[in-house]
Amino acid sequence: MKKFVYLCLLGLFILPLRQACAQDKSQEKSKTEERATVLIPVKVQIVFTELDGEKKISSMPYTFTVPASEKAGNNYGASLRTGVRIPIEIDGKDQKTTYMDVGSNIDCRIQSQEDGRFLISWIFERSALYLNKSSEGERLVAEPNGLPLVRQFRTNESLLLKDGQTSENTLSTDPLNGHTMRVSVTINVLK
């Protein structure tokens, strides 16, 4: 009889312990599944085109891959920085030189949607020195103190696009020379 009571008491302790272990394992599994994020590689192409009326002056494509996530606020994205650093002398008693970045900066994040589209959020910045064409050739346009003028273009957008779709909805006019700048974005899911 003592053995029977002993086995019953042992069973009362072991059964809840086994259930607790099984519950912990299932909680760990659901946490792991929660952390597992499906990433879809998406190729992004951004083309910056400058036009003088209908005449194309330049076209600069930028292509990179961004991992798209199903969850908002993911930490995945892509950044691209390209350009030059221009020395600028600062007048003063010590004649110091500083540098200014001129070129293109792109930051991009993509979130996949349930309907198969992708929400692409991006920031595009482009800076360039003003060039003036004259009979003597190209030269920098400078302000009265002799420093070069730098033009700026910035856009911060969010678009819903399908695989293979292109959007050209950014258009800006340069106030100094009247040139128009267009930005088009194309995405393609990599398989």
Convert 180-191 into a string of H (helix), E (strand) and C (coil): EEEEEEEEEECC
- Say what the pTM is: 0.68
In the chain, domain spans: 1-36, 37-189
pLDDT at 176: 77
Here the tokens at position 124 are 């595009």
What are the pLDDT digits (tens) for 47-73?
999 998 889 999 999 999 999 887 766
Higher per-residue confidence, 144 vs 154: 154
Task: Give the mean pLDDT of the chain.
Answer: 79
Interior/surface letters 99-137, b for 16+ CB within 10 angstroms, e for the rest: eeebebbbebbbbbeeeebbebebebbbbbebeeeeeee
Is the four-CA dihedral 111, 117, 121, 125 of positive or negative sign?
positive
Return the H-helix or E-strand segment holding 51: strand 39-52
